C-alpha cells in the first residue's frame, strides 16, 4: 500500500456574533492559527432563530480565511481549540460568539461539528466532520443536510472567493496535488 500525505486545505471559520468581529477575538484567532487573510462583510443571520436565546437578536455571520494552509487531519484539533475559546468568552453560560471551523479544498467545503448525524464521520476527540458543499460546474452544490446559510448565494460567493485564494496559494507554494 502506498501512503500519500494529505493535501493541505484552507482553514476558514464561520463566526456568529451580535458584537461584530472584536479585535480581541481576531488577535486570539491569529495567535492560535496564524494570520487572517480575508474577512467577509457581515451577513445578517436570518436563516434560523436557533441562537437568539443565547446570543440575542441581530446576529451576523462573518467568514474568515487564514493565510496558512493546514493538513485536514488537524480539523478536530482546531474545533477543540475554538470550542474552548468560545467557552472562555462566555458570560453566565452564554456565548457571545459561535465559531465554526471548516476546510476548503479544491472540491469541497467541510465543517466540523460536535453533533453526530448519519452523514457525518468521526474525526477524533468526540467530533465529526461533514462535507457541506461540493464544487461542481463552477459553483457549489448543497445537500439535504447543508445549513440554510451555507446554501445562500451570499455565503457561497464568499466561499468561492476563499476557494480561489486557496488555489492561488497552492500554485504559489507549488503544492498542487
SS3 state at 136: strand
In a domain, 65, yes or no: yes
Say how far residue 129 (Cα) sits from the centre of its chain: 11
pLDDT at 47: 94
pLDDT band at 63 (very low <50, low <70, confident <90, very high): very high
Q: How many helices (H) and strands (E) does the chain have?
A: 5, 9
Retrieve residue 28's grid coordinates: 486570539
Q: What pTM did the predictor assign?
A: 0.95
Query: Residue 111: what pLDDT?
Result: 98
Per the domain annotation, does 73 fall within a domain?
yes
44 has a pLDDT exceeding 80: yes
Q: Which domain holds residue 117?
A: 9-171
pLDDT value of residue 1: 79
pLDDT, tens digit, for every residue of 107-117? Answer: 999 999 999 99
- Share above pLDDT 90 across residues of the chain, in percent, rounded to a whole number: 95
pLDDT of residue 173: 81
Q: Is residue 13 part of a domain?
A: yes
| Burial of 93: CB neighbours in 10 Å, binned 0-12, 13-18, 19+ | exposed
CA–CA distances in Å: residue 77 to residues 20, 57, 69, 139, 150: 25, 31, 15, 29, 23
Is 177's pLDDT higher than 70? no
65-115: pLDDT as tens digits: 999 999 999 999 999 999 999 999 999 989 999 999 999 999 999 999 999
Asked if residue 120 belongs to a domain, the reply is yes
Q: Would you say residue 116 lies in a domain?
A: yes
pLDDT at 176: 60
Residue 24 domain-assigned (yes or no)? yes
Best CA proximity match to 38, nearest among 12, 20, 64: 64
Q: Is residue 150 part of a domain?
A: yes
pLDDT tens digits along 125-156: 999 999 999 999 999 999 999 999 999 999 99
Which helix or strand (DSSP H or E) is residue 63 part of? strand 60-70
Q: Are 14 and 156 in contact (CB under 8 A)?
A: no
Structural domain count of the chain: 1
Residue 36, pLDDT score? 98
| Over residues 25-47, mean pLDDT | 97
Amino acid at each position: 500500500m502506498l501512503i500519500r500525505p494529505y493535501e493541505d486545505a484552507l482553514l476558514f471559520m464561520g463566526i456568529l456574533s451580535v458584537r461584530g468581529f472584536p479585535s480581541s477575538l481576531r488577535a486570539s484567532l491569529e495567535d492560535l492559527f496564524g494570520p487572517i487573510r480575508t474577512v467577509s462583510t457581515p451577513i445578517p443571520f436570518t436563516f434560523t432563530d436557533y441562537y437568539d436565546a443565547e446570543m440575542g437578536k441581530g446576529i451576523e455571520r462573518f467568514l474568515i480565511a487564514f493565510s496558512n494552509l493546514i493538513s485536514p487531519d488537524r480539523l478536530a484539533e482546531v474545533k477543540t481549540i475554538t470550542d474552548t475559546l468560545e467557552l472562555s468568552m462566555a458570560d453566565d453560560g452564554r456565548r457571545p460568539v459561535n465559531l465554526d471551523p471548516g476546510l476548503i479544498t479544491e472540491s469541497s467545503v467541510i465543517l466540523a461539528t460536535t453533533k453526530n448525524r448519519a452523514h457525518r464521520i468521526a474525526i477524533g476527540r468526540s467530533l465529526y466532520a461533514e462535507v457541506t458543499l461540493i464544487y461542481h460546474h463552477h459553483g457549489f452544490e448543497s445537500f439535504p443536510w447543508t445549513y440554510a446559510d451555507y446554501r445562500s448565494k451570499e455565503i457561497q460567493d464568499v466561499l468561492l472567493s476563499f476557494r480561489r485564494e486557496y488555489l492561488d496559494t497552492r500554485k504559489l507554494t507549488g503544492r498542487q496535488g
